[in-house]
Chains A and B, each alone.
Chain A
Amino acid sequence: MRISELVSKTGWKVTTPGLDLEKEIHGAYCGDLLSWVMGNGEPEQAWITVQVHMNVIAVAKLREFSCIIIADGASLPPEVTAKAEEEEIPVLESGIPVFETAKILVEAGV
């Protein structure tokens, strides 16, 4: 599934609107401990997290995640969003808890 398809199915907010949303998503990873995510994430996954520190962008880049989905009402500070745009990592906000976010990804066929 492409990020753009997920966005049109869910209506989740894209906080990096200038970026290419035609990247494919293959699976997802949930986690907020960045050391853990660095060690276990896989390329092309959508990463669901509530962690909003600047380091999330470096971790997403390192693991080659397809996109970051910020869950549970958290949101990235402007300087982190700017970094995501610079590094061309699309960021979505689901606005709902991690478990609900993951369930919707499953239902959408990710």
Chain B
Amino acid sequence: MFYDLHMHSCLSPCAEDEMTPNNICNMAMLKELDLIAVTDHNSCRQLPAVDKVASALGLRLLYGAELESSEEVHVLGLFPKLEQTYPLQEWIDAHMPGIPNDESYFGKQEIMNEMDEIIGTEKNLLIVSLSATLEECVDAIHRFGGRAVLAHVLDRANSVTQQLGFIPMDLPYDGLEIKSADQKQRVLDTHPWIHEEDTHWFIDSDAHHLIDISEAVNEMSEAVFEELWGKSL
């Protein structure tokens, strides 16, 4: 199946306003993706609306968020069930620094319903680091039944390699997100303890604009999906 497991809705201040639940899901359908995940910064509050829209369209979803650890490393938490994000959201709320958003500078943080109507605004700035280490973020994701994918691992901002120099040897992550096959080779070249076959590699868009959602080019087998998220769908 063709997937894109990293994109931001209009709840993320840095995403464009057009990243509404309906626009995202319909764009994914137009691009003939089979499976997507909407992963806002430190929030799962857009997911109920995305869930309703996607299920009406017959689009498969994983439910997630992009957490930012205290070391400012980005990690995706991806869950097979919407309900599993509720305790994650409580955990996130307990680890937020509570810095108010400045809309004029950072952008709006809008929560929508399945009709793309604004039903709320997140008051606290979401692009912040949580008071939890990378290890604690991965542990929380696992505790609530999700899988942890280290986001854009070779990026120059907020990646594990930028912040921490290299991917920690003992970190129990479930997957690594890269931008290209070249990047996979660079990760392998610089981390002799990481093996290509033992690792789940993901190539996602990290789309903040509708146009950037992936084309149907990155494929995941049903077997890999089941290994990671079970047969729930």
A interface, CB within 8 angstroms of B: 33-35, 37-38, 51, 53-55, 58-59
Contact = CB atoms under 8 A, between A and B. Distances in A.
A58 B164 CA distance: 10
A53 B133 contact: yes
A54 B165 contact: no
A33 B161 CA distance: 9
A38 B165 contact: yes
Interface string B117-146: 000000000000000011000000000000
A38 B164 CA distance: 10
Given A53-B71, A53-B133, A53-B134, A33 B162 contact: yes
B19 to A, nearest CB: 29
Contacts, number: 28
A102 B170 CA distance: 33
Interface of B: 71, 133-134, 161-166, 168, 170
Contacts of A38: 165
Nearest to A62: B165
28 contacts: A33-B162, A33-B163, A34-B163, A34-B164, A34-B165, A34-B166, A35-B161, A35-B162, A35-B163, A35-B164, A35-B165, A37-B165, A38-B165, A51-B71, A53-B71, A53-B133, A53-B134, A53-B164, A53-B168, A54-B168, A54-B170, A55-B164, A55-B165, A55-B166, A55-B168, A58-B165, A58-B166, A59-B165
Q: Which of A34, A38, A55 has the most CB of B within 10 A?
A: A55
A55 B168 CA distance: 7
> Which secondary structure dominates where chain B touches chain A?
loop
A37 B165 CA distance: 8
Nearest to A55: B164
A36 to B, nearest CB: 8
B57 to A, nearest CB: 41
Contacts of B170: 54
B163 to A, nearest CB: 6
Nearest to A51: B71
Name the residue among A33, A34, A51, A53 with the largest chain B CB count within 10 angstroms. Answer: A53
B51 to A, nearest CB: 35
Nearest to A54: B168
A93 to B, nearest CB: 18
Contacts of A58: 165-166
Contacts of B134: 53
A55 B73 CA distance: 13
Contacts of B166: 34, 55, 58
B166 to A, nearest CB: 7
B159 to A, nearest CB: 9
A58 B191 CA distance: 13
B15 to A, nearest CB: 25
